Chain A
Amino acid sequence: MPSVGQVELSLYAIALSGLLLWEGLPVSWRVAAPMLVAHIVGGTVLTVLVVAPFWWQHRVRLRTAAPSTRRATGRWIEIVLALLVASGFYLFFAGNDGASDAALAHALHLWLTLPLLAILVLHVARASALRVFWYRARRRRPLSRLRSS
């Protein structure tokens, strides 16, 4: 069963690869083209093998987790992830051909990414895989010394 950290990092990787595809960023096609493949293939694989199993097993805690804010953020993550997966599948199979529905799918797929990341960070809180970097940045001490203190 994938760990929290694995799921979290997977979502970060998928989000980052997707953000690099945003045309508002000056990313050359030489970078964007392989990133497009990575985002689609990697995102599909990680979603199927890492995120989905974790979600299936983890969602029982929607009723039991404490505090209640965690249940709320979890619910939101669930909704946003569902929209991202659905819009992603739409963009892949139907295409972003400029029609209104494709434009909506594209907008959802792009603009829900940052909220997802924010909610995710709130949801995992101290259990975040990013805590290592956070504490190092704050205290400027190696983790081992943090633990000893």
Chain B
Amino acid sequence: MGLRAGLVLSLLLASLAVAVVRAGESLGANGAVAAEKVGTRESASLILTGDGSTFYSANFDAGSVSRLSADTGERLGELRLGGDLRRLALSADERTLAVSDYRSEQLLLVDAVSFRLLERVAVRGRPFGVVYDSERALFWVTLFEAAELVGIDRTGEVLERLPLPDTPRGLALARDGRLFVTHSMLGEVSIVDVRATPPVRVRSIALAATRDADAFASQGLPRLLDDIAISPDQSEAWLPHVLWSFGHPFQFRSTIFPAVSVLSLEPGAERERVDRRKQLFRQIDLSDGASKTRIISNPHDLAFSPSGDKAYVTLAASEDLVVFDLSRRARDSDRRRSRRRGKRSQGGAQAIQIVRHLPGDLPKGLVIRNQEILVQQAGTLDIAKLTRGGEGPFARVELVEARFARLVSGDPVDPRERRGQRVFFSANVDDDPTFPLAGDFWMSCGSCHLDGFNFTNRYLIGDAQRYPKHEPGAAVTGHSGLSTLVAQDFVGDYIRMIQDTQGGLGADERMGLERVDPEAPPARLVASMQDLHAYVTASENLPFLSTWLRVEGGESKLDDSAWTTASQCQDCHSAIYSQWSSSNHHRMGSSHPYYLALEDLAAQDEGEAFRAWCMGCHNPRHLASGRASSHALRPGAAAREPFVAGLNPAASAAATDPLGEGTDCLFCHRVSRLEHAGGNASLSVNLSDRERYPFEASSSAILRWFSERLIASRPSVHADSYWKPFYSDPRYCGSCHSEFSPGAGAVISDTYAEWAASSYNRPDSPAENRTCLDCHMHADVQKIGSAVEGRATDGGRWKSNVRTHRFTGASIDLVAARDSAAADQGLALLRSAAELGASLVSDGTDEGRSLRVRVRNVGAGHHLPTGVADLRQFWLYVRVRDARGRVVLESGALDDRGRVPNSARMFNKVLGDADGRPVGLRFWRYATLLSDTRIPAGEFRDEEFRLGGPMEFPLMALVELRFRSFPRALSEQVKKSFPDLQLPPVHSLVRLERSLERP
């Protein structure tokens, strides 16, 4: 009996053992169930094959994809593709690899077997996240800038497109077909049903934005949502990100906080578990040896252990790994059983370990391979291997091999730029204890400037503006206290930024370091700042530093010969050329006296390099061709230009500078990319990647003539090469007609935003929608809203609506010297902008009477005035006579010097500096808004004038809205350099005469 029982027991045990072994085999190397291959379901820069034997790495700006052995770290292959490769995904059969090229705006399809490129699929709009959907056999790709989700099959055909809210970035595909999309700069997650054809966005989850009275408590707007990871049981998703807290001046301990948000994925009831958000000083509260909470920064990527009991997060700035233990968190059902209310909720899983630091630079992607953690380091382009240390709650992660794998055979990035990149993105103070780049690991430049300098900048400014001002009128959204707004003394200003914003370089007094003097930095630090400068001025960032203008086509600057002059366009587009020739879009650079005066003043104050900020919009051709100033060929020379009426503009242009000036045909119509970053010429010009006609650039006049005939006989290629759909987008105008101060981020003007907020922005109602072009490129401002027929090409097709290139606007007086008809149009436009009203108000006493004048903005699609609202003069002239003809009130009359008195009711912005003093002409130093009496579109402003003393009724009131393009004092100053300058006259825009009876 005993023997029989023993045999039975042995058989049972053996069967059990076999079952356990087979279950373990089926889990696969990465802990996932390998029974079905489903492809990559979460967007990542480092992925493992299903059997765990191989991993693939997207090597970012090294421009290659590597295939490596997961066992040995041996690089099995490296495919150089160029660009900036961010994420990659394998198909279910692991035969096709899709890689997102963020910079080149392509999805690259690679044969994973032969490891060769199959296809480059153009997907404009910064492709980022990639996952594979085995059900539909599609790669889903987020277009970060274009705000779209596209579905691409393995042949490269785009089969699905779904518009999404702004900045879609990370992707995670649940088994039931729900696709979770993170919106990096909105703090939202979209849920898309990709089983539907076409896909449908079913819900959106807005992550909680928090505020706390204690500025140093974790709080803020959820931002920089890069990736999202779904727990193995599909019940939750975790999102590492930061919190932006901008409600007070930048101070590193109260501005940026690391966080990991948790979503419950219950179908139909998806929501954020705000109570389980991981934050510093709560769920992330591990102390160092001195009982001080260890600070971490920039959570980047996250992976769960196969059991789901642990979560691992890379910290890209502090260069750490944080471990969360989910096994011991209270479940929701535990609440009822818990007797100790105070202990009931600890905010979910807690951080149990911070691995400080990961070797290498800039840790990003990570994968879990059984007990191994492989961390991809984007700065040093290698893989570090760590061990998880087991499954239990006391398991400790430890480094096994610092450089387990080298991702690339060679780094194509310039070493200085690579070092500069590290300076930009690192908050690891232990990297350089003498010159730490942050205070206590809190933040790096990359904590705000996602991926460097790009369109996300406008979210930075916008979020800063959301908060109530910590001081009345505070306008700086970025770095204050800069010496030369970065341009001239960039070393010193970088040091000031690192100190004042990030707490580095001795600014954090708790670190006991001597504060570095920005005026006299040590040589080693200077070298480091110069490296940083190399990164900041890289071609994909700010090559011209202060301005956001870029040159595409593989060149850092353009040769003069690359520019065709506008006069060649005149041959076939004579009317448009003539309109442009007299316009302010042409004459706003080398021949504009006010502009030259201000450019010179800016250079005098901030250094010669600061001219670039001005030239980016006013003289971009000069800047892109390497010219240092807007002055003509002779340094310091002023172009004496046609302000004297009647002078031939064409002859004058040839006499001054062969590059011409302003923005001409070839510039505007060869802008290849618009980056909606908030202004400052945030666009790219590309002269080289263009379909050309034979003999276009020939030096022979006969061959050039022949080339013109070729263009004329087949013009479609010519037309296509000079047109982009966004040329009619108001954001294109906004790329220059909005500006902010470099470094400080004070929004000096934002005409685009004013229009966007107005009732004229009606894309859903074409009949009511009015964009910039509808008024400022309308051939007859008396007929705005109606089409104006005409030809764009001499003898060409008759068009139902032709845009004038006069760019009718408020700066009419310089235009008047060249083209009176254009000036008349400008004046007509100004006169259509406002209406006046006048009434008497009284409190019942003789002394309590006032004249109330109402100015209503009825015609401008933006504030009145806009743009250079600190210099333009709009004011009220008021004169009231009583029945006996006595003047009982007069306001706004020019003084004997022709200046508008201070007592006049002006409609303008008064900009102040950091000390609250008016900046005057130095508007780039704007830091405080002293007053803003402009009138938004569709709104009005009332001005009251007290009426005192005896008077007989009825009163006769004369009210005028007057305009002058520049202040008299400024004009007199400029005239000293330009004696031919005609002082701008005063224009009466709107006039009202009204009889007023006793109230």
Contacts and interface: CB of A to CB of B under 8 A. Distances in A.
Contacts of B691: 29, 33
A15 interface: no
Interface in A98-133: 98-99, 102
B795 A21 contact: no
B713 A95 contact: yes
Interface stretch (B153-161, B714-722, B929-937, B974-982): B714-722
B710 A36 contact: yes
B793 interface: yes
Interface in A13-58: 21, 23, 29, 32-34, 36-37, 40
Nearest to A34: B694
B498 to A, nearest CB: 50
A97 B694 contact: no
A96 interface: yes
A23 B797 CA distance: 18
B798 interface: yes
B817 to A, nearest CB: 33
B693 interface: yes
- Counting chain B CB atoms within 10 Å of each CB, the highest count among A21, A29, A34, A93 belongs to A29
Contacts, number: 57
B80 interface: no
Interface in A71-102: 91-99, 102
B694 A96 contact: no
Main SS at interface, chain B: loop
Given A21-B714, A94-B795, A97-B796, 18 more contacts: A23-B716, A33-B692, A33-B694, A36-B710, A36-B714, A37-B710, A92-B713, A94-B712, A95-B712, A95-B715, A96-B713, A96-B715, A97-B572, A97-B794, A98-B793, A98-B796, A98-B797, A99-B795
Contacts of B712: 92, 94-97
Main SS at interface, chain A: helix
A91 to B, nearest CB: 5
B709 A92 contact: yes
B556 to A, nearest CB: 27
A97 B710 contact: no
Given A97-B793, A99-B798, A91 B717 contact: no
Contacts of B572: 95, 97
9 contacts: A23-B716, A32-B717, A36-B693, A40-B709, A40-B710, A92-B709, A97-B795, A97-B797, A98-B796
A37 B706 CA distance: 9
Contacts of A102: 796
A108 to B, nearest CB: 14
Contacts of A34: 694
Interface residues on B, range: 20 to 34
Nearest to A91: B713
A105 to B, nearest CB: 10
- Counting chain B CB atoms within 10 Å of each CB, the highest count among A23, A34, A97 belongs to A97
A95 B694 CA distance: 16
Interface string B785-802: 000000001111110000
Interface string B872-897: 00000000000000000000000000
Given A92-B709, A94-B795, A29 B714 contact: no
Interface in B667-715: 691-694, 709-715
Nearest to A101: B795
Contacts of A98: 715, 793, 796-797
A95 B716 contact: no
B694 A36 contact: yes
A109 to B, nearest CB: 10
Contacts of A93: 709
Contacts of A23: 716
A33 B693 CA distance: 6
A37 B694 contact: yes
Contact of B713 (A33, A40, A99): A40
Nearest to A88: B713
Contacts of B709: 40, 92-93, 95
B797 A99 contact: yes
B713 A29 contact: no
A21 B716 CA distance: 11
B341 to A, nearest CB: 73
A91 B712 CA distance: 8
Nearest to B713: A91
Contact of B795 (A37, A40, A95): A95
A33 B711 CA distance: 10
Contacts of A33: 691-694, 717
B796 A99 contact: yes
- Counting chain A CB atoms within 10 Å of each CB, the highest count among B713, B715, B717 belongs to B713
Nearest to B720: A29
A94 B134 CA distance: 57
Q: What are the 6 tightest A-B residue pairs by CB atom distance, in nearest-first order?
A: A98-B797, A95-B712, A97-B796, A29-B691, A91-B713, A97-B793
